[in-house]
Every structure is written in C-alpha cells, then in structure tokens.
C-alpha cells in the first residue's frame, strides 16, 4: 500500500511540476534517509512494478518539496543530501516551542560549519523564492 501511495505522489508531481509541498513542523533529520530510501526502492522495485517515471524520486523531492525546522542540528548536518534549496528555517514564534527570543543564538550554534551562501539560502533566500517575496 505504501508503495502505491508513494508512486501516486510521484505521478502527481510529474503531472504538476509546479506544485510545491511544504513539510512544516517535522524538522529535517528524516528527509535524507527518506530521499535515499525512495531512490533505492525505485531502483530495486520500479521495474518489477512497471513504474515508468522520467525522474528518480529524489529529483521530484528536490524540485517540489520543502522542509521546515527550528532546532535540528543532526538534520542540518546533511543539508547537501536533503538539498540546501529545500530547507526553510523557522522560529515558530509565538508558540512555546519557539526559538524566540534566542533565535540568533540558536542559528549561530546549529549553523556552525555550514557555508555562508548555504546559510543565507536556508535562513532567508529559500522562503523568499518559494513564496515570491521581494
């Protein structure tokens, strides 16, 4: 059943290439493993089930899916697997789990070692692009 759901989702993304999906409030650590598992499953089982899509699942993910996070240092360490262009940092203000009023300290800590251009994308550039904000 899960394979049917995943294949159906990929077919929708193939049919509607401009569709954007945002995974909010789930952090990002899961995404790298999920992307790799989708590709593995497609390579191993796609031919058996006659799944004929022009791109790999990771390609659809990188084109159509965005993931938000507040404090997920482990997930941020694999930004290159998930795709820097797919990550959106948030602080979830005013909720009690928010990083506010310590957002600058939180981002300074978890973005250590992340290249400045990637940090700029994740902290502001990607959300501007996704939501067409000047």
E strand residue ranges, 10-120: 21-23, 65-69, 87-89
2-11, pLDDT tens digit by residue?
Answer: 566 677 888 9
63-105, pLDDT tens digit by residue?
Answer: 999 999 999 999 999 999 999 999 999 998 888 889 999 999 9
Task: Say which residues have a Cβ less than 8 Å from residue 18's Cβ, sequence separation at least 6.
Answer: none
pLDDT recorded at residue 3: 64
Quick check: 50 and 96 in contact, CB under 8 A? no
pLDDT recorded at residue 48: 86
Stronger pLDDT, 50 or 113, i.e. the higher one: 113
- Domains of the chain by residue range: 2-130
Whole-number mean pLDDT of the chain?
A: 93
pLDDT recorded at residue 50: 83
How many distinct helices (H) and strands (E) make up the chain?
8, 3
Stronger pLDDT, 61 or 47, i.e. the higher one: 61
Alpha helices in 24-100, H assignment, sequence order: 29-45, 57-64, 73-76, 79-82
Identify the weakest region by mean pLDDT among 32-36, 48-52, 73-77, 79-83: 48-52
Quick check: 9 and 53 in contact, CB under 8 A? no
**57 three-state secondary structure:** helix
Gyration radius (Cα) of the chain, Å: 16
Class of domain 2-130: alpha beta
Identify the weakest region by mean pLDDT among 3-7, 58-62, 87-91, 112-116: 3-7
């Amino acid at each position: 059943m899960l394979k049917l759901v995943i294949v159906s989702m990929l077919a929708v993304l193939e049919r509607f290439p401009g569709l954007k999906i945002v995974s909010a409030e789930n952090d990002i650590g899961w995404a790298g493993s999920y992307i790799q598992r989708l590709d593995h499953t497609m390579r191993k089982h796609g031919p058996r089930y006659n799944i004929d899509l022009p791109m790999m699942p990771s390609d659809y993910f990188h084109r159509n899916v965005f993931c938000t996070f507040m404090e997920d240092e482990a997930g941020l360490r694999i930004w290159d697997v998930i795709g820097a262009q797919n990550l959106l940092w948030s602080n979830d203000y005013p909720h009690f789990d928010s990083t506010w009023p310590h957002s600058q300290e939180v981002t300074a800590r978890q973005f250590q070692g992340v290249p400045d251009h990637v940090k700029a994308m994740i902290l502001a550039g990607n959300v501007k692009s996704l939501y067409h904000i000047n």
